[in-house]
């Protein structure tokens, strides 16, 4: 079975500061990795995904993430955050083979950007 651990439940930062949201996963097989964002009272939207190839993936709104297989991590970064980035961020994992058609989410990290 796969699982995801988001190491920080809340991350407060000041506007224009850099931010890193941490995600570790566990799986016995190869994985696909995702970051989703949820703005208040809305559904989730895809920020970026890692399927294969380059371990550094770029997403929307200036976010990027790096897949590190040896550390089983997929941390999300942004060099300079804006007030509008305030939202909850979810890391998710699915198995890349077989018949496991399940996307497993972490518990989320609430990013609060202060002026």
Partner 1 sequence: NAGVTQTPKFQVLKTGQSMTLQCAQDMNHEYMSWYRQDPGMGLRLIHYSVGAGITDQGEVPNGYNVSRSTTEDFPLRLLSAAPSQTSVYFCASSSTRLLTGELFFGEGSRLTVL
Tell me the closest approach of the beta carbon of residue 81 to partner 1, in angstroms. 22
- Which 45-84 residues touch partner 1, going by CB under 8 A? 45-46, 49, 51
Complex with partner 1: residue 12 or 18, whichever CB lies closer: 12
Burial class (CB in 10 A: 0-12, 13-18, 19+), 18: exposed
Q: Which of 28, 42, 54, 70 binds partner 1 (CB under 8 A)?
A: 42
Q: How far apart are CA 71 and CA 88, in angstroms?
A: 24
Q: Identify the DSSP state of 106.
A: -
Tally Cβ neighbours within 10 Å of residue 15: 14
Asked whether position 96 contacts partner 1 by CB under 8 A, the answer is yes
Among 67, 87, 106, 111, binds partner 1 (CB under 8 A): 106
Q: Does 5 bind partner 1 (CB under 8 A)?
A: no
94 is written with which tokens? 């699915």
Find the shortest distance in angstroms from Cβ 106 to partner 1: 6
Distance CA 108, CA 101 (A): 21
Angle, CA 18 vertex, CA 64 and CA 26 arms, to 5°: 50
Size of the site for partner 1 (CB under 8 A): 24
Q: What residues make contact with partner 1 under the rule CB under 8 A? A: 6, 9, 32, 34, 36, 41-46, 49, 51, 90, 94, 96, 101-108
């Amino acid at each position: 079975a796969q699982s995801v651990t988001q190491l920080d439940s809340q991350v407060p930062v000041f506007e224009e500061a850099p931010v890193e949201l941490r995600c570790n996963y566990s799986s016995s097989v190869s994985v696909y990795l995702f970051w989703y964002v949820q703005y208040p009272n809305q559904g989730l939207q895809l920020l970026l995904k890692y399927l294969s190839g380059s371990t550094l993936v770029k997403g929307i709104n200036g976010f990027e993430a790096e897949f590190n297989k040896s550390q089983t991590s997929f941390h999300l970064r942004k060099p300079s955050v804006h007030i509008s980035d305030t939202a909850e961020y979810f890391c998710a994992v699915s198995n890349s083979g077989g018949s496991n058609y399940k996307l497993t989410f972490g518990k989320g990290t609430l990013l609060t950007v202060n002026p």
